[in-house]
Structure 1
Amino acid sequence: MDLKVSDSNLKWYPVYTQPRAEKKAYSALISKGIEAYLPLHRRLKQWSDRKKWVEEPLISSYLFVRIADHAQTEVLMTKGIARFIYFSGKITAMPDRQINELKLLMASALDMEVTEEDLQPGEKIKIKAGPLKGITGEIIAYRSQKQLLLRLENLGCSIIVNVAASLINRL
């Protein structure tokens, strides 16, 4: 299937995968020529007999595809893909800015966590220095520390990153 269209017609869509099928679904999409993004983070896992560093998806059962509308069926026909994410009855598209910010976060090697808690919005900020310079977010009180919350709209999750207060500007 020829999925080449102008960049202006391409949008990022979050897709839900079968349980623990994120990496296989990602590989299958790439082999079909579909642009996909699967944010992975390294984690030390403990088994009864050993410890090992493994790469796991940052957000369980999610990955992102950048396609034109007409390619949605091809994505759904990919092994490991369960469905697109819907919001208000329509397939959810994400702004390029959010994917770029997520890629920047992943490249920054900061300690981060993903939470599905419904965190309340707070003061809007923008990071003024460091590897996350230019990213906007919200300050929240979480586990009694001030942290940056980067909310991924329409996904039902948030990414929390520790950022020094000296590196932020109020908006």
Structure 2
Amino acid sequence: MIDNTYKWYPIYTRSRAEKKTQIELNKKQIISYLPLKKTVKQWSDRKKVIEEPLLKSYLFIYISAKEYTEVLTTPGISRFIYFSGKIAAIPDKQLEDLKLLLANVTDLEVIDYEVSLGEKVLIKAGPFKGIVAELVSLKNKKGIVLRLQNLGYSIMINTSLAFIEPIR
């Protein structure tokens, strides 16, 4: 028996095709949600605020099981996301929370790894690029305190968690 209840499902799109894929889904009258964040891009002659996907290559669709094939034949769609061997469904509440978060937070970033206090990290960007340090504390979204090896001092660095990665 096919489940005809409508649910939110995450789908994986081709690289950098999220917006075009959403347009194609809209043409098929399939409800979709693309979480976007505002980012300032710097060119040599100007700055511009653009909207880019919060989760690269991800799009959320609201469908029933009978529409799976229709979604997969849409240009730009790579595949459904699976969890434990089944197509992953997202609870309505989670998607509403994501929408609420994006409506109220201006500076949001996503990292695909966890960093714990006391963990050794590698600084990937900025003037300290290449340095290995210990994560001592998180002061706010942009302020992290790192203890540099062999110095015995902790240094407050105003950088993003996206610019460090755990060494495991």
Structure 2 length as normaliser, TM-score? 0.66
Equivalent position to 1:78, from 70, 74, 77: 74
Q: Does 1:41 align with 2:37?
A: yes
Equivalent position to 2:7, from 8, 11, 22: 11
Equivalent position to 1:145, from 134, 139, 146: 139
Q: By how many angstroms is 1:76 displaced?
A: 0.8
Q: Is the 8 A contact 2:41 2:50 kept in 1?
A: yes
Distance 1:101 1:50, change over 3 A: same
Distance 1:81 1:142, change over 3 A: farther
Alpha-carbon RMSD across the aligned residues, in angstroms, is: 2.4
Distance in 2 (CA, whole Å) between partners of 1:41 and 1:112 is 7
Distance in 1 (CA, whole Å) between partners of 2:20 and 2:98 is 21
Structure 1: segments with no counterpart, 5+ residues: 1-7, 121-140, 148-159, 161-171
Match of residue 29 from structure 1: 25
| Aligned-pair identity (%) | 52
Q: Across the two proteins, how many residue pairs are aligned to each other?
A: 122
Q: Which amino acid aligns with 1:110?
A: T
Distance in 2 (CA, whole Å) between partners of 1:62 and 1:81 is 10
Q: Which amino acid aligns with 1:145?
A: K
Match of residue 97 from structure 1: 93
Computing the radius of gyration over CA atoms, which structure comes out larger, 1 or 2? 2
Distance in 2 (CA, whole Å) between partners of 1:100 and 1:56 is 19
- SS of residue in 1 equivalent to 2:110: strand
Structure 1 length as normaliser, TM-score? 0.64
Structure 2: segments with no counterpart, 5+ residues: 117-134, 142-160, 162-168
Q: Does 1:61 align with 2:39?
A: no
Distance in 2 (CA, whole Å) between partners of 1:146 and 1:55 is 24
Q: Does 1:113 align with 2:109?
A: yes
Distance 1:12 1:33, change over 3 A: same
Match of residue 153 from structure 2: none
- SS of residue in 1 equivalent to 2:109: strand
Q: By how many angstroms is 1:142 displaced?
A: 9.1
Moved over 6 A (4+): none
Out of 110-119 and 56-65, give the one that drifted further.
Answer: 110-119
Q: Which amino acid aligns with 1:21?
A: A
- SS of residue in 2 equivalent to 1:112: coil
